[in-house]
């Protein structure tokens, strides 16, 4: 009978627990910080809630949350929290963006450990009430679909309503 020591098991369990706690606290801090005072003029920024769906692994997917924040005129930071079965993790990606009227198009990459697919490539678009993207890596191909969380309406500034 093969025996695994108690100490190595405890170390691995503690390390996994610490990683999960850190990743969850990152999205929670960003989520709470994005509540702000509601005066943001950026209709693309803020909280997003929805799901991710694998198109290469039938039936795989889960809950997805994001806090989307402008860095400058051509970059946004996205802090994601993705759920899969009983697991969840969060990560941050920076996207290059281009605005086309009431739509923001974005693209970028994010590197995860090789065991989880390595480099992920993202491409998508955001409107004031919808966030959609595709992703691909050596491990998976899929899409994100998100809307504003329940009760979180975005106020579109008058200037942007007229189509500018």
CATH number at residue 128: 2.40.128.120
* Position 153 in a domain: yes
Between residues 144 and 32, the one the model is more confident about: 144
Question: Residue 78: is its pLDDT beyond 60?
Answer: yes
* Position 13 in a domain: no
Q: How high is the pLDDT of residue 105?
A: 98
Mean pLDDT of the residues in the chain: 79
Cα separation, 163 vs 157, in Å, equals 11
* Position 3 in a domain: no
Q: How high is the pLDDT of residue 35?
A: 52
As for how many domains the chain has, the answer is: 1
C-beta separation of 89 from 79 below 8 A: no
Task: Tell me which residue range forms the domain holding 118.
Answer: 27-161
* Position 11 in a domain: no
Q: What is the DSSP letter of 132?
A: E
Question: Residue 8: is its pLDDT beyond 60?
Answer: no
In this prediction, residue 28 has a pLDDT band, given cuts at 50, 70 and 90, of low
- Give the residue-averaged pLDDT of 128-134: 97
64-76: per-residue pLDDT in tens? 999 999 999 999 9
Cα separation, 66 vs 83, in Å, equals 12
Q: How high is the pLDDT of residue 117?
A: 87
Question: Residue 154: is its pLDDT beyond 90?
Answer: no
Rounded to a whole number of angstroms, the distance between the first and last alpha carbons of the chain is: 71
pTM for the predicted model, two decimal places: 0.72
* Position 55 in a domain: yes
HSE value, Cβ hemisphere, 13 Å, CA-based, for 118: 5
* Position 112 in a domain: yes
Lowest mean pLDDT among 1-15, 86-100, 148-162: 1-15
């Amino acid at each position: 009978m093969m025996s695994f020591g108690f100490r190595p098991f405890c170390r691995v369990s503690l390390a996994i627990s610490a990683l999960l706690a850190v990743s969850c606290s990152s999205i929670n801090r960003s989520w709470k910080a994005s509540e702000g005072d509601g005066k943001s003029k950026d209709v693309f920024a803020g909280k997003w809630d929805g799901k991710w769906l694998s198109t290469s692994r039938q039936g795989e997917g889960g809950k997805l949350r994001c806090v989307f924040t402008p860095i400058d005129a051509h970059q946004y930071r996205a802090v994601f929290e993705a759920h899969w079965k009983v697991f969840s993790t969060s990560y941050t990606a920076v996207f290059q963006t281009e605005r086309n009227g009431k739509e923001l198009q974005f693209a970028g990459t994010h590197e995860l450990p090789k065991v989880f697919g390595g480099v992920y490539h993202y491409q998508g678009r955001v409107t004031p009430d919808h966030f959609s993207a595709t992703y691909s890596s050596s491990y998976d191909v899929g899409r994100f679909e998100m809307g504003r969380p329940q009760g979180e309406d975005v106020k579109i500034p008058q200037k942007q309503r007229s189509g500018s």
